[in-house]
Amino acid sequence: MILNIFKPKNWTSFDVVAKVRGVLKVKKAGHAGTLDPLAGGVLVVLTGDDTKKQAKFMEMEKEYVAEIVFGAKSPTYDLEVLPTLVTTPDSAETFEKIKEILPLFTGEIEQIIPPYSAKKVEGKPMYKLARQGLEMAEQRKTITISSIDVMEQKSCELNTDKGVAVLPCVTLRIKCSSGTFVRSLAHELGEKLKTGGILVSLVRSAVGEYKVENSVKIEDLVSQQSR
């Protein structure tokens, strides 16, 4: 069975698979592409013999809707820890510059792997080394971003180490290859603008032909199976 599940925010991808396995009473289940706990959206869950199709789904293009705030930094590139206020950039100027630099981040590019990620260095996940305060050489990977479109530009309130700050905020629609770190994109856009940038919201809106508008919420799956 191939299921298009909406992963809720603050659930791990493993949490969703475990729940599906329990609700459907199946032994074999897995997902076709991890979503960070702070992200929501499409998680393709495969059960039974369809678990053999995992590689096919992993290769599919992904689409994300990401909200990025400029003027702050975070070691995790998102809201996992309290952001540090860097500056309060002018919104109009920031929005204009973003449109200018977005083409630099499309096509095949080298992307920074977040220090707080599951990528292993010398056999240990980077996030474990980072939490121990150990310094690591910057790790990069090649990914492909086929398109980035600006959906919305506005001002957002953000809790920072200096209190609540009102900062420029942009919502982007991103189509990219598997393995792309959208929080790294937020960080690198902020570095290019010299303002800092962090990911404050992320929804995976599609995996190939599997769209978020057709996804099934966990509670609806439970309800369907209990009828």
CA distance 216 to 3: 8
Q: What angle do CA 144, 146, 10 make, to 5 degrees?
A: 75
- 15 classed as catalytic: no
Q: What angle do CA 149, 196, 131 make, to 5 degrees?
A: 110
In the chain, what is the greatest distance between 2 CA atoms, to the nearest angstrom?
Answer: 55
Question: Residue for token digits 């799956």?
Answer: 221
Single out the catalytic residue among 36, 90, 161, 220.
Answer: 36
Q: Which residues are catalytic?
A: 36
